[in-house]
Structure 1
Amino acid sequence: MNEINQPIQNQNKPLNTTLLIILSLFSMVAQLPFLFLPARRWDWIEAWVYLIFFYIYMLAQILILNKKNPQVLRNRINAKKSGMTKAEGADKWILPLVSIVFLAVFLIPGFDEGNGWSEVPFQVEVIGFVILGISFYILYRSMLDNAFASKVLDIRKESGHKIIDTGSYAVVRHPMYTGFFLMGFGLTLALGSWYGLIPAGLFLVILAIRIHFEEEMLIEGLEGYEEYQKKVKYKLFPKIY
C-alpha cells in the first residue's frame, strides 16, 4: 500500500513557481514565429491581443492548478518530455496529425493577414475572443477536474488512474477536447481569418477519430467506463455529439 501511495504523494507536491512562470512565457513566445512570420508584419494588433490574453490565461491557470492539482501539471510536462516515444497504437499517426492541423490553425490566419484574403467584421473578431475565453475556462476546468489528463493515450493504474465523472466530466466525456476545438475555432475568428476555419474544422474531425480509439482503450482497460458512457451520453458537446 505504501509503495502505491508514495508516487501519488510526490505527484501532488507543487512545482517550482519560477519554473511555471518561465514555462508560461515560453508557451507564449513560442507562438510568435507561427503568427508573425506568415503575416510578414509585427504590427498585427489582433495577434498581440491574443498573445497577451493567452499569457494571462496560461499563467493564471498553471499557478492555480499548481496549488489545487499539481499532479496534472506533472503528467502534462512528462508527456511533453517523452514526445512521441510513449505513443502507441493509433496515437503513432494521430498525434502527428493533431500537431500538424493545430499548427495550421495558427499559420493560415497569419498567411491570411499577410495576403489580405479575408475581411472579417470587428464584431466577429470580438465573438472569437469570447469563444477563446470560454475555451480557456473549459481547458482549465477539465485539467482541474482530472489529474490523469495526458497528451498520450495511456492508463496509469500505478498512479491510481480511475474514472472521473464529476465537474466538467459530468457534462461531456472529453471536455479537454471540447476546449481545444473551441480554442482553435475561436482563435481563427479572433485573428480575422475565414480560411482558418478549414483547419479548425479538420481538427474537430481528427479529435473525433482519436476519441474513438481512446474510448476503445478505456473500455478495455478502465473498469466501469461503459457505465460512465451510459451516464454521460455526449462526447464533446451536450445534446449534439
Structure 2
Amino acid sequence: MSRGTAIAYAIGLPLSLLGLIFWPAGTIAWRPGWVFLAVLISGFGASALVLAWVNPIIYRARSRFQAGTKSWDKALLAVILPAMVAVLPVAALDAGRFHWSVVPAWAVLSGYVAVLAGIAVTGWAQAMNPYFEPGVRIQSERHQRVIDSGPYRFVRHPGYIAALFLFFGMALALGSLWALVPAALAAAVLVLRTSWEDQLLRAELPGYDDYARRVQWRLVPGLW
C-alpha cells in the first residue's frame, strides 16, 4: 500500500464511521456513539500495531482482492459487507434517534466484550496466518500451506467466528435490537461462506483434508 493510500485510509475510515453513526442518530452529541467509536478505534489500532510487528506481510495480503478470488465468494461478500456496514446506521437510527428498542446495560456490556473478543481473535488469526486474505482462493503463487497453530488448533476458521462476534457485538454495544437483523443476515451468509471455503480447501489445498480430520470444528468447538 502506498503512503498516499495509507493516509487516505487513515482519514477516510474514521470519517466514514462518523457518518455511519452520527448522521442516522441525528446528532453528533450522541454519547454512546462516541464511546463505541473510542473502543472500536482503540481496539483495532492496538491490533494493527501488534500485526505490524509480528506479521507485517498481512497488510499486503489484505490490501486488495487478488487475482483468482472465486466468483462465488465475491457474490457472497456483496451481501456480507453491506449487511455488516448496515449494522451501524440501523443501530444509530434505533438507539440514537427513534428508540425503537430498549437494551439493558448488561447486554450493552456483553456487546463490548464480544467486539473486543472479535478484534482479539481476528488479530490472533492474522498474526499466525500470512495467507489471511479478504477473498477466497488457493494462493499457489505464495506456496500456501496449512496453518495449524494459534487459534487454528481449535477451529478451522477463527477469523469467521471473530467476525460473528463483531457483527452481533456492534449491534448490542450500540444498544439496538433492530441492528441484530442485518447482523443476522451477514452471519447467515458468512456461515455459508465458511462451508464453501472449507470444501474448496479440502479439495485443492494439500494437507488440509488431514488437518480437517485433526481439527473437527469449523467455527464453534463441540457444535460445528
> Could you state the TM-score of these two structures normalised by the residue count of structure 1?
0.85
Deviates more, 1:23-32 or 1:137-146: 23-32
Distance verdict in 2 for CA 1:108–1:66, change over 3 Å: same
Equivalent residue in structure 2 for 1:115, among 98, 104, 113: 98
Structure 1 residue aligned with 2:87, among 92, 102, 105? 105
- Once residues 17 and 163 of structure 1 are traced to their aligned partners in structure 2, the CA distance between those partners, rounded to angstroms, is 32
> Please, what is the CA RMSD of the aligned residues?
2.1
* Runs of 5+ consecutive residues of structure 1 not aligned to the other structure: 1-14
Q: Secondary structure at the residue paired with 2:147?
A: coil
Q: Give structure 2 stretches of 5+ with no counterpart.
A: none
The 5-angstrom pairing of residues 24-39 of structure 1 reads 24=10, 26-39=12-25
SS in 1 for 2:125: helix
Deviating above 4 A after TM superposition, structure 1's stretches of 4 or more consecutive aligned residues are 15-22
Verify the 8 A CA contact 1:24 1:55 in the aligned structure 2.
no
- Aligned 1:86-235 pairs, distance under 5 A: 87-113=69-95, 114-235=97-218
Q: Residue 96 of structure 1 aligns to which amino acid in structure 2?
A: A
Query: Displacement, 1:23?
Result: 3.8
Matched, 1:42 2:24: no
Describe the shift of the 1:194–1:146 C-alpha distance in structure 2 as closer, same or farther (beyond 3 A): same
Describe how 1:9-20 pairs up with structure 2 within 5 A.
Answer: none
**Residues 65 and 144, structure 1, Cα contact 8 Å, conserved in 2:** yes
Distance across 1 between alignment mates of 2:199 and 2:223: 21
TM-score (norm 2): 0.91
Shift of 1:93: 1.3
SS in 1 for 2:134: coil
Tell me if structure 1 keeps the 8 A contact 2:81–2:186: no
Deviations 1:8-32, CA, capped at 9 Å, x for gaps: xxxxxxx899986874554333211
Counterpart code for 2:114: I
The 2-side partners of 1:18 and 1:231 are apart by 44
